[in-house]
Structures are given as structure tokens and as C-alpha cells.
Structure 1
Amino acid sequence: MKKYLKIAGMIIGALVLILIGSGIGSSGAKATIHDKKMDITALDKEIGKMKNELSTMKKEKEEAQAIINQKDSAAQELADTEVKLKDTKGTLDKELAEGRKEIDAKLAEVKKELSDEKAQLKDTQAKLASATGQLLKAKGAPKKLGSGQYVVGKDIPEGRYTAHALGRGSNFFVYDGDSGTANVNTILGSAGGIGSGDYTFSCSEGDIIETHEPVQLTPVK
């Protein structure tokens, strides 16, 4: 800046000298620049040189100012970016926290549902075990039949039984459900000394049991 002012002062001084020299006469006009005496022609050249230097200095100053401005702008952009980054991080942290809270809530809900399902399954298993026990007990309990016909699988479960007459005894039949053939044809009890007593037999679903007197069927293995 000092150099710029110095050159500008020199140019102004030179111009003043030119004006003075013009008044005195071109042949005798002299000026002292950088400790050298110059005539008008030399002075014009020196002034042109100083103008070029001044123009160069202006250009350098403008370029320097542009760099400074760019630096300031970059610094401001950096500051703005840091603020935006901080805001974005804060928003992201908040969203992550809220998302984590929502996930934890859903996880707790799923765990509760799973626990309820396990409890229901345990209760169902207990009921099934109880029902199975009752069914096995029912299957293992003796069954009393009055005189008549009974369908295996509908009136009594299929399986293996021992038939025992509850009265004097009478005819006892088991017919094949498909062919109608009598697989069992016997007399239970000892009526008139002709009965065979108890009788053990097997029957399948669809078979027909026929008894002419009350009997008791006891499941056997």
C-alpha cells in the first residue's frame, strides 16, 4: 500500500513538472526522478512505466482481495456446514433414540405375546393330558351292555374285550361290519350247563355286537 501511494505521488509530481515544463518551454524543461534529471520524453517513458506498475499493483491487489473474499466465504460456508452437521447429528440422535424406544416397546409386546402363547400352550397341554387320561380311563373301564345290537366305533371303542354275562347268560355274537359274517358265536355264562363262561374277543370299527342278555365288556391288552 505504501509503495502504491509512493508511485501515485511520483506520477502526480511528474505531471506537475510536465505542466510547468510546458510553460517554460520544452527545450529547457528538466525534472529529477530517482535522482536523475530527465527531459520531457524520458519523463513520459518513466510515467508510462510507473502507470504500468500501478496497474499491475491494482490487479494484484484485486486478486489478493478476491482470494481474501473467497477465504472468508469458505470460512463462512464451513461454519454453516458445521452448524448444519451439528443440527443433523442432533436430529439423527433423536430419531435413533425414538426408533430404539419404539423397537424396545414392540420387542416387549412380542415377548409378552410369546409368554401368553406359552402359558396358553401349557394350559392346553395340561387339558390334553387330563383329557387323554380320562379317555384312557374310560377305555379301560368295563362297559355294561343291555340286550341288543351295538356298533363298534360308535357305541363302544374298537379293541380287545372279555365278555362276562351279568345274568344267567345267553347267546353272544360279533359280526364283521363288511361281510356280515359272525366272527364270534358263543354262549356266555353257564345257563343250563351249556354256557362257555366268559369269552375274550377282538372287534374293529364297523363290527356289530349282538347280545340276548346284559353283559359286561372289560377292555384287555
Structure 2
Amino acid sequence: MNNLCVAHRGFSGKAPENTLAAFRMAMELPYVTWMEIDVQLTRDGVPVVIHDYSLDRTTNGHGKVKDMDWSQMRRLDAGGWKNRSFRGERIPSLEEVLELSKERMRLNIELKNAGNLYPGIEKTVTQLLASKGMSKDVVLTSFDTGTLQRCQEADPAVRRGLIFDSRWGDPAGRVRELGCSFLSIAFSRLTPGLARFMSARGVGLMAWTVNKAKEMRRLADMHSDIMICTNRPDIWGDTFLGV
């Protein structure tokens, strides 16, 4: 099966997204080879794994990620909102996730840095990857082109990818202009022509977020190189492996 399974924020269909519980659950499935995670910085510069700029939806805290120190953030409950059985799950640091996944899983790390909200995040993350010996095991992705350019400056050895979700524009052209080797695209924006074009040029391609078997099959029929990013890796397994 060429259409690799990417667990979106871990096994986020069943566990609280972007928590160690969600990552461990995804890693229990042998066919999950990639996970997609989101990274921001605390006020004191610690890379943490959380999607929203606000703490309100996925924790019992309030306010902005950027306004809270790591010592405060690590005490928040990031699991109870999903299910009472996950009470006590914490927001993980990127370092914790790297240690968990090293030599077991590759990571698509989205840097949440719209408008350079987190100055220096690119250098902080690339240095951490290098210190763990994982610079070759990840792709750094972002909607923000400035962030991608600064990633290149921080460490040219780390693979970079553009995230694209627009009815208009030229994703292939933007990937080329940025010198990226990866395109992360909303599955509804992906066409057979674009998939063939990117694959022929050696650009990795990931479609998100795909939770229905019908859409997974459609993407697989479109091109074998399309990575399928899903909240429900179990549905991927049922669809393609019958497990």
C-alpha cells in the first residue's frame, strides 16, 4: 500500500488531539508511519504541541498560548474535554514528542506562526531536531511563507513543506518558488493533474483531513503517492488492509 497513513494530531478521532495519549494510540497501529502535529512557543520560548492559538478549546485553561509560561501550561488538563477517561493528559512539549517518536515514527510538524507570531520559532525547532538527531525524520510545514523561508535559513538540511487550502492560486508554483519538497493540501483541493505534476517532480504530497473510507479510496485511485492524513487511522486500516 503506497498511500501512507498519517495520524492527524495523533489518533485524534478517539483520543484528545496532540497529546501523548493520542500519539501512543496511533503508534500502536503498525501501518501508521507518520504523525502530523502542531507546534507553538510558550512565553518563555518552549516549543509545545497544541493546535489552537487559544487554550480554551482543548484545555481547562484560558487565554493565548503565547502568553503562558511552560511551567504554567504543563499543569493544564488537555484531555478531559474529550472524555473523562483522558483527564490528566497534559500538553506535551515538542521534546517529549520527539523522544517518544524517535526511530519509531516520522513527523509532519506544522509551525503555527502566522505573521511571525513567534519570532525565532524556526531556529528553536531546528536546533532541537538537530540535538535529537532527527533533522532527517521530519518535514516542517506552514501556511506562512516567511516561516518556511526562515526554516531554510535556520537549517537547510530540514525538509520543508507548504500547507495550502484555497480555491484559487498556484500551489505547485508556490512550492517551486519556496524551494520546498512537500505540499500539504486540503483533500478537496487536490486534483489528479496536480497529484501527477507534483509526484513527477519528486514533491511529497499529503491530503488532509480524510476521515471517510470513500474519500480515502478516491485519493488512492487518484495517485499512489498521496499520503492520507486522518483523524481515524483505524478507518484507513479497515479500508486498505481489512484490519
User: TM-score, normalised to structure 2's length?
Assistant: 0.17
More helix by share: 1
User: TM-score, normalised to structure 1's length?
Assistant: 0.19
